[in-house]
Each structure stands twice: as C-alpha cells, then as structure tokens.
Amino acid sequence: MTRSVFISGSARGIGRAAALTLAERGWIVGVYDLLEEFEWAADLVTSGKIRTGLLDVTDPESWEAALADFTAHTGGTLDVLVNNAGILYGGAFMDEGAYARDGALVDVNLKGTLNGCRAAHPYLAATTSAKVVNVCSAAAIYGTPDMAVYSATKFGVRGITEALDLEWEQDDIAVRSVWPLYAKTAMLDGVETSGTKRMGVSLTPEDVAVAVADVVEAPRRTPAQVHYPVGRKTKLMYAGSHFSPAWLTRFINAKLTSGYKVSL
C-alpha cells in the first residue's frame, strides 16, 4: 500500500529536499506552499508521486482546503504530516525586530504548526499508525540570542510536539520533531548573527531532509524518542542540556551562540 505524506512550505529549501527524498523512497507526497514554485516537481506530478498546491499556513481554511485536495487522492487518509513551513529574522531583539515582524514569526512558525495539527487530525486519526513530524530547531534547546522570537516559536513547537504525542497516543498518532542547527537555505540569506559566525552554517537542506525522511519512516519504539537532533553539534548540545545544570547550559549556550559578555 502506498504511503502518503503532506509537507507544508515545501516549494523550496528543506521542504523541497524532503519531498524529493520521500518521493524517491516510494511515498505519495503533498507539496503545498504559499509560493507557486513547483516547476522542479513537474515530472513527479505527472508520474503521480507528487501533488502540488497552494497553502497559507496562517489560514485554517487554507489548511482545510489543501488537506482535502491532497487526501482526495489518497482515499481520505494521511500517513504523515510534516509541519515544515517557517520564517525568521536575525539580530538583536530591539534593533532588528518590530511588532509586525514578531507577529509574522508567531503566525507562521507557531500558529502554522497548530493549524496544521488541528486540520490534519481527522485524516491522521483515520489512518493506522499515523505520525506528525514537526521541523523544530536547535534554538529550542536554550533561548538563542539574536534570534529571540524565532527561538521562542521553536520552544512552542517543542511544547506542541511533546503534549500532542501524549494526547494523541490514544488516536494511534505519534508526534515527533526534528532539530537542525543552522542550514544553508534561503531562510538564512542575509542573516548573520553571533551564532552563525561562531557555529557556522554547515548543514545542507539535503542533510536535514534525510533526517526528516528517516523520522517519517522510523518505527515506533518503547520508550519513544520524540526529538531528533540533526548534526554532530546539535546532538552534543542537546545531550549536554540533559545532564548539565541550568546555569552551565546557559553559560555554554551563550559562549557558542552570542557575542555578549556572560559570566558564570
């Protein structure tokens, strides 16, 4: 039986790479985005491996229409939802931010994930062993300076993931998240922070896409692994946050991601 996966924000970047990876692995992939940049998928659309469409993740009605369109081609079921759509701005909170910019990040990164989970639930619940995979971030390990609002939204995604994984277990739906560090995508074009300079931007969209696809396909285990850090640096930071006291985690994170003076 062919498996189906719907990916938000998948016209470019990590979402596009994940769509290609999963299509190669035999999935029917829903590629839905606010941007109509689907030329790269033309052959896969013709072959039936990919279906494309428009989606504004901030609009619940857009979610409902997109999911209805995609599941009309899957028999009304949905094996996996990947909440991938996201935006960011970098820089000191008071220098680079504004009410409107802050609100846009919350609307896309946080509300977009909530909207996707709520709209997809009926389809996921109608499917055996369904799954949600939220693209989170290493910025959810500890609040990240110069990316305060982005970091806050990813902490929200972390919370959504953990809560719904427990709440939806009764519906046979697992909820997981993928945590990359900085990746070479258009989202980071023109963005330079202390963190990007100190840690580097070494991950590619394909690196993260493979991680997303692996989590999509990962069998369920007991006890469950809910969060999946991507890349050596993120894995070390994530592991360290579980064993070091809060004050030490703060100090290490500040040294790695900021140019601000910090003391123990």
Question: Is the Cα dihedral 152, 243, 220, 181 positive or negative?
Answer: positive
Query: pTM (2 decimals)?
Result: 0.91
- Domain presence at residue 151: yes
Tokens of 32: 């839905």
- Domain presence at residue 238: no
Question: Is the Cα dihedral 210, 216, 219, 220 positive or negative?
Answer: positive
The CA distance from 93 to 148, in Å, is 6
- Domain presence at residue 157: yes
252: pLDDT confidence band, cut at 50, 70 and 90?
A: low
Beta strand spans in 180-237 (E): 227-229
Tokens of 228: 């999946």
Residue 74 sits in a domain whose CATH number is 3.40.50.720
- Domain presence at residue 44: yes
Tokens of 178: 């993928």
Q: At residue 199, does pLDDT exceed 60?
A: no
- Average pLDDT rounded to a whole number, residues 145-150: 91
Percent of the chain with pLDDT over 70: 89
The sheet carrying 28-33 orders its strands as 50-54, 28-33, 4-8, 80-83, 130-135, 173-179, 227-229
The CA distance from 208 to 95, in Å, is 30
Count of structural domains within the chain: 1
Q: Give residue 111's domain range.
A: 4-231
- Domain presence at residue 258: no
233: pLDDT confidence band, cut at 50, 70 and 90?
A: confident
- Domain presence at residue 247: no
Catalytic site positions: 150
Digit-coded pLDDT (tens) for 12-67: 999 999 999 999 999 999 999 999 999 999 999 999 999 999 999 999 999 999 99
- Domain presence at residue 79: yes
- Domain presence at residue 26: yes
